[in-house]
Structure 1
Amino acid sequence: MSQQVRAVVARAKGQPVEVVTINVPDPGPGEAVVKVQACGVCHTDLHYREGGINDDFPFLLGHEAAGVVEAVGPDVTAVAPGDFVILNWRAVCGDCRACDRGEPWYCFATHNATQKMTLEDGTELSPALGIGAFAEKTLVAAGQCTKVDPSARPAAVGLLGCGVMAGIGAAINTGAVTRGKSVAVIGCGGVGVAAIAGSALAGASPIIAVDIDPKKLEQAKRMGATHTVDSSGTDPVAAIQELTGGNGADVVIEAVGRPETWKQAFYARDLAGTVVLVGVPTPDMKVPDIPLIDVFGRGGSLKSSWYGDCLPSRDFPMLVDLYQQGRLDLDAFVTEEIGIDDIEAAFEKMHHGDVLRSVVLFS
Structure 2
Amino acid sequence: MAMKPVKVSQLNGYIKRILQSDPLLGNVSVVGEISNLKLHSTGHVYFTLKDESSKVNCFLGAEYVKDIRYELADGMEIVVNGYIYLYERGGTYSLNVREITVEGIGNLSAAFERLKEKLSKEGLFDEKYKKPIPFFPAKVAVITSETGAAVKDIIKIIKSRNNIVDVVIYPCLVQGPGAAGDISRAIREVNRLFPEVDTIILGRGGGSLEELWAFNEEIVARSIFDSKIPVISAVGHETDFTISDFVADKRAETPTAAAQMAVPDINALKEYCRQKGNQLQHTMERFIKYMELRVTNYNIEHLQMSLKNRLHIQLSKIEGVRKDIDICLRNKMTELERNTEKCKSDLEAFHPVNIMKRGYAAILDQDGKLTGSAEHFATGDKLTAVLQDGVLECEVFEIRREQYGKTESKNEL
**If you compute each CA radius of gyration, which structure gives the higher value, 1 or 2?**
2
Instruction: Tell me, yes or no, whether TM beats 0.5.
Output: no
Structure with the higher helix share, 1 or 2 = 2
TM interval, short-chain normalised: under 0.3
The structure with higher relative contact order (CA 8 Å, sep 6+) is 1
When normalised by structure 2's length, the TM-score is 0.23
